[in-house]
Amino acid sequence: MTYEEHYLDWVRDAYAMEKQAESILEKMAGRLEHYPDLKARIQQHIAETQQQQNMVQSVIDRYDTSSSVVKDTLGKLAAQGQAIAGMMAEDEVVKGAMSGYVFEQLEIASYTSLIAAAELIGDEEGARIFTAIREQEVAMAEWLITHLPAVTEQFLVRSAAPGVEAKK
């Protein structure tokens, strides 16, 4: 495979990853009731994720003449499975915040690799786009890890209170 072929593959992977991110975040935000700060930050990142999809798509459009929806569909299916598994958990808000952080790390690593590939093939526009997206992923990851102690504490306090729902 050529540099460009690998690059296009990886950019398509990034698009599927952002579709998966949107699906997971939508389900989390839609279920949260008692954690307004977390819900608001997730909703902000959903808007960012939708913009990211458009930005990643613009790179695909410059390198790809065919249209591929296969990975997109697979990504959505995987996301649904994960979200459903998370909802079974009695401590879903804590597990959700943790897996959200892990997912952001995957995104950060993916864009770090994509930036290197973009620079190697001379796609300056792509490198600029992926750097901008990575900044948003870093900010989201930092917010989640910074607020994880408070989410955990709120969950424990609510769990211990009679008649108070804690899980979401």
What is the binding site for Fe ion (CB under 5 A)? 21, 49, 52, 107
* Closer to Fe ion by Cβ: residue 18 or 123: 18
3-state secondary structure the chain: CCHHHHHHHHHHHHHHHHHHHHHHHHHHHHHCCCCHHHHHHHHHHHHHHHHHHHHHHHHHHHHCCCCCCHHHHHHHHHHHHHHHHHHCCCCHHHHHHHHHHHHHHHHHHHHHHHHHHHHHHCCHHHHHHHHHHHHHHHHHHHHHHHHHHHHHHHHHHHHHCCCCCCCC
Residue with smaller CB distance to Fe ion, 49 or 99: 49
Question: 133 or 166: whose CB is closer to Fe ion?
Answer: 133
Minimal distance, residue 141 CB to Fe ion, in Å = 10
Residue closer to Fe ion (CB basis): 11 or 21: 21
Minimum separation from the CB atom of position 114 to Fe ion (A): 12
- For the bound state, the minimum distance from the C-beta of residue 127 to Fe ion, rounded and expressed in Å, comes to 17
Rounded least distance, CB 159 to Fe ion, Å: 31
For Fe ion, give the closer residue by CB, 39 or 45.
45
Residue 44: which residues within 8 A CB-CB, separation 6 or more? none
CB of residue 103 vs Fe ion: minimum separation in angstroms? Answer: 9
